[in-house]
Structure 1
C-alpha cells in the first residue's frame, strides 16, 4: 500500500458535530489499518492524517467518505507521500 498525506484546513464555519464525526471516522480507519497517524495543527487551522491506500483513486474515495469532506467544512488536499 502507498501512503497519502491528507491535509485539512478549516473553513470559517465548521459545524462542531462534524469534528466529532471526523474523529470517529479516523478511529475507524485506524482499526482498518488505513490511518497510520493523525493530529491537529498547533494553530487550530486544521490537521492532517497519513492514509494507506492502494492508489490515489482509492485514497480519494476514502477521503470523500470523511465527514470533514462530506460536510464541506474543510479544504482538503491529498498528496502521495514517498517518505524515506
Structure 2
C-alpha cells in the first residue's frame, strides 16, 4: 500500500472543507473554535476520512483533537495509513 504524502491529504481536506462549509479554511485553523465544525460535523469527517483514505478511525483516535484542524486530520490519516502499511 502506498501512503499518500501528508500535503496531498491536507490539500484534499482543505478542498473538502471549503466545499462543505462554503468558507475559506487554513490548514492550521482551529475548526471548532472558528465555529466551522460542530461535533456532529466531526462525525461526518470521520466517515469522509474512512471512505476517502481507507482507514478505520476507532477507539482513542475518536478524539476531537484529531479533528481540530486540517493538519491534525492529515496527521491522523498519515499515521493510520502507515500502521496499515506496516501490518
Task: Identify the structure with the greater helix proportion.
Answer: 2
Could you state the TM-score of these two structures normalised by the residue count of structure 2? 0.37
Could you state the TM-score of these two structures normalised by the residue count of structure 1? 0.37
Compare relative contact order (CA 8 Å, sep 6+) and give the higher one, 1 or 2.
1
Task: Identify the structure with the greater strand proportion.
Answer: 1
